Amino acid sequence: MLFQQILNGLTIGAVYALVALGYTLAYGILGLINFSHGEIYMMGAFIAFTCISIFNWNIWLSLILAVVICGLIGIVVEIVAFRSIRHGARSSQLISAIGVSIVLQNIAMLTWSSRTQPFPQIITTKIIKINDIVISNLQIYILATAVILMVTLYLLLYKSRIGIAIRATSQDPDTTSLMGINVNKIISITFAVGSVLGAAAGILMGLYYNSIVFNMGYTVGLKAFVAAILGGIGNIPGTMLGGILLGFVESISAGFISSQYKDALAFLIMIIVLLVKPTGIFGTKEVEKV
Amino acid sequence: MLKVEGLTVKYGNITAVNNISFEVPQGKIIALVGNNGAGKTTTLKTISCLLKSANGKIIFDGNDIIGQQPHKVARQGLVHIPEGRHIFPRLTVKENLTISSFSRTIKFKHFKKEMEEVFEIFPKLKERQKQLAGTLSGGEQQMLAIARGILQKPKLLTLDEPSMGLAPIIVEDVFESITRINKQGTTILLVEQNAQMALSAADFGYVMEVGEIVLNGSGASLLNDPNVKKIYLGEVD
């Protein structure tokens, strides 16, 4: 029972972690809590659904198209909603993000209706049973995809020149521009990367739960935000662990207490973390040398 | 190399720099000295296009660069080492240097070779290349900022208060490397509160006071100017 819940938690936690990374990337580079990020997750699932179920396109092409389009949506959102108020008040950025969220949700509702849609089952589910533990092949695919994406993100950020530019921009954008780097371009790339991860998470979740709905990004977006806060927003490895941890908490509370309390518990944990260690479990306080 | 004509910069209603003109000829070290708040940093930031000017011209290498984006100016070879060093504290020393390659057009392989050459000039940085730059001492951070600037292959290097917050003996090191870079053919525009050091190193100097240039002359003549002595060098007769 416990191991089963841990496995379930790991699966869902990996998806939370992917979405949470989008929050952390946006926060790291702009100091912005991008509350519209959950909608990118929803868009990823719906675009994949449209390409596969409605247009009957090739599955791989559809999946790639879905994440690429979401990457572009991320770029457009940053340019339209955040660029002009980049140096403005935090509160106006926050309101702008919520506005984008409402707009995207409504676009989705008008395009795909407010009904719950079945997500195409592109993978035939197989169940593997070891003693009492049930593992579906889907869970393994989800975990593997999430791990591959997170490793790729890590390599991009820490082993590539673009990654250096992204990290430099998050520390000191003015000086980064003095290094010959087009900071706007780097911010666009960062939003695209975050959105690609979010869209991939949306597709994985669609596969896992079989169904998608226009407001599915809302709760997951909030949960992923909790995960990011939990691990330390702005901190990449912390965010990954925060997502996994949240997944554990949810599935264990669903298994041992009641599945109706799992959301409440997630937010309760966020409140406790904010009270006890506002920088998150893995976050550190910045000490700048003058 | 650089010609500033009638430059005025405002922060809202406040005029920080008022109609100044000066010139930085090829191969020289030019110093801009003056007290805190004289508008020196504002001038440099406007030259590197981090700030917008209200009026005037900045001619670099024959082109007016006013209104350009800072990264484009940097790629043209106008390299600005800002006040307070502004190294990237959470990047390693090596990553701090690698970032200079963005303003270059050469192959990364060749850039790496140049990085090795820079490591020879600054052996301390080589030793610490895997360390986070924020863990370096102030002097080492200034050296890193200068090394990063050199790797951008500047035609004109502008330095803002390179001596700030450093021990006198380290300040001498810093100025030594500035004159060495200049001897290797890089033109330098130096902004300093430490007028003594700056004017000794400079071929020509300008003195700024509340947004205006009030004096100019060769480095040596300014050092001997009784007003400069009194106000900036703290000598009392």
| A77-81, A130-134, B113-117: segment of lowest average pLDDT | A130-134
Tokens of B183: 């001897």
For A185, counting Cβ atoms within 10 Å of its Cβ (0-12 exposed, 13-18 middle, 19+ buried), the class is middle
- pLDDT tens per residue across span A191-202: 999 999 999 999
Q: Which of A165, A172, A289 sits opposite B102 (nearest CB)?
A: A165
Q: Is residue A185 part of a domain?
A: yes
pLDDT in tens, A265-281: 888 888 998 898 888 88
Calculate what percentage of chain B has a pLDDT beyond 70: 98
Nearest CB to A179 within list B99, B108, B141: B99
Q: Say what percent of chain A tops pLDDT 90.
A: 77
Q: Could you please report the per-residue DSSP string of A209-277?
A: HSEE-TTHHHHHHHHHHHHHHHH-TT-HHHHHHHHHHHHHHHHHHHHHT-GGGHHHHHHHHHHHHHHH-
At residue A284, the pLDDT reads 66
Looking at CA atoms only, how far is residue A162 from chain B in angstroms?
Answer: 9
| Spatial separation of the C-alpha atoms in residues A106 and A139, rounded to whole Å | 31
Strands B212-218 and B204-209 come out as antiparallel
CB contact under 8 A, B82 and A175: yes
A111: exposed, middle or buried (Cβ count in 10 Å: 0-12, 13-18, 19+) = exposed
Please report residues of A whose CB lies closer than 8 A to that of B89. 171, 288-289
Q: Is A42 helix (H, G, I), strand (E, B) or coil?
A: helix
Give yes or no for a contact between A17 and A227, defined as CB atoms under 8 angstroms apart: yes
How distant is the Cα of A188 from the closest Cα of chain B, in angstroms?
A: 16
Q: What is the pLDDT of residue A113?
A: 95
Q: Residues of chain B with pLDDT > 90: what percent?
A: 88
Say if A159 is an interface residue toward chain B (CB within 8 Å). no
Q: Is the pLDDT confidence value at B236 over 70?
A: no
Nearest to B99 among A168, A182, A290 (CB): A168
- DSSP-based three-state secondary structure for B87: coil
Among A171, A182, A290, beta carbon nearest to B88: A171
CB contact under 8 A, A172 and B88: yes
Beta bridge partners of B213: B208
What pLDDT was estimated at residue A285? 57
* CB < 8 Å to A165, chain B: 99, 102
For residues B199-212, give the mean pLDDT. Answer: 94
Decide which of A143 and A261 is more confident.
A143
In sequence order, the 6+-apart residues with CB closer than 8 A to the CB of B75 are A180, B103
Other CB atoms within 10 A of residue A144 CB: 11
Residues 6+ apart with CB under 8 A from A123: A137, A138, A141, A207
> Among the listed ranges A112-116, A258-262, B78-82, B220-224, which one has the minimum average pLDDT value?
A258-262
- Which residues in chain B touch residue A289, judged by CB atoms under 8 angstroms apart? 89, 134, 138, 141
Contact A161 B108 (CB under 8 A): yes
Residues of B in contact with A178 (CB under 8 A): 48, 50, 70-71, 74, 79-80, 82
CA distance B136 to chain A (A): 9
Residue in A closest to B76 by C-alpha:
A180
> Reduced to 3 states, what is the DSSP secondary structure of residue A280?
coil
**Do A194 and A74 contact (CB within 8 A), yes or no?**
yes
Q: Which of A170, A178, A184 is best to mutate for the B interface (most B CBs within 10 A)? A: A178
Nearest CA in chain A to B152: A179
A200 vs B: CB within 8 A: no
| Interchain CB distance below 8 Å, A161 and B91 | no
User: How many residue contacts between A and B have a Cβ separation below 8 Å?
Assistant: 77
pLDDT for residue A290: 37
Q: Could you give the CA distance from residue A67 to residue A69 in angstroms, rounded to a whole number?
A: 6
pLDDT given at position B237? 54
Burial class (CB in 10 A: 0-12, 13-18, 19+), B184: exposed
Residue B110 tokens, joined: 């060749």
Burial category of B118 from C-beta neighbours within 10 Å (exposed 0-12, middle 13-18, buried 19 and up) = middle
> Residues with Cβ < 8 Å from A275, sequence gap 6 or more?
none
Among the listed residues B215, B200, B227, the one whose alpha carbon sits nearest the alpha carbon of residue B29? B200
Over residues A228-254, the mean pLDDT reads 92
CA-nearest residue to B85 within chain A is: A290
CB of A167 within 8 Å of any CB in chain B? yes
Report the C-alpha gap between B233 and B216 in whole angstroms.
16
Look up the domain containing A23 and give its range: 17-212
Are A178 and B76 within 8 A, CB to CB?
no
The nearest alpha carbon in chain A to B137 belongs to A289
- Domain assignment present for residue A287? The answer is no
From A278, A167, A272, A263, select the one nearest A224 (Cα to Cα).
Answer: A263
pLDDT digits (tens, 9 = 90+) for A164-221: 999 999 999 999 999 999 999 999 999 999 999 999 999 999 999 999 999 999 999 9
pLDDT confidence of residue A289 = 37
Residue A287: per-residue pLDDT? 44
Domain count, chain A: 1
Q: Is the pLDDT of residue A240 over 50?
A: yes
Does the structure show a pLDDT above 80 at A1? no
**A184 within domain boundaries:** yes
Confidence band for A125, pLDDT divided at 50, 70 and 90: confident
What residue segments make up the domains of chain B, in order of their start? 2-85+153-232
**Into which CATH architecture does domain B2-85+153-232 fall?**
3-Layer(aba) Sandwich (3.40)
B183-194: average pLDDT: 94
* pLDDT at residue number A288: 39
**CA-based nearest residue in chain A for residue B79:** A178
**B125 is written with which tokens?**
């940085």
Segment 12-41 of chain B within 8 Å of chain A by CB: none
- Residue B163, classed as helix, strand or coil, is coil
Instruction: Give the distance from residue A288's alpha carbon to the nearest chain B alpha carbon, in angstroms.
Output: 8
Mean pLDDT of chain A: 93
Contact: B89, A289; criterion CB under 8 Å: yes
The answer to whether residue B231 scores a pLDDT higher than 90 is no
A66 pLDDT higher than 70:
yes
